[in-house]
Amino acid sequence: MVQTTNRFFDEVAKLMNDAAGVTQGVRREFETFFRSQAERILRDLDVVKRDDFEAVKEMARLAREENEALKARVAALEAALGKTAAAVDKTSGRVSS
């Protein structure tokens, strides 16, 4: 009787082990299916990928910085031009418009 009981438990353990392996396989298949469906839906919706978004965000930041630098440069040139025009007007006696 002892031998039969051990064999029975061995078979049950083997069956459980096989069932666990099948369950893991089904889980992997489901994850793969779900991931591919999610990617297809996002692709159909034209959702931007994170890498592309980050690249454009960085380009916008650099453009903003360059724009601010150019604004400061134009303001400095306009101020210098204004001083020069005022100095010319004072020496020539003309009124600037």
pLDDT tens digit at each of 97 positions of the chain = 456 678 888 888 888 888 888 888 899 999 999 999 998 998 888 888 899 999 999 999 999 999 999 999 999 999 998 877 776 666 665 555 4
Name the one residue in this structure whose structure tokens are 């040139």.
77
CA trace torsion 71, 72, 78, 80 (10° rounding): -160
Q: Can you give the pTM of this predicted structure?
A: 0.46
| CA-based R_g, the chain, Å | 38
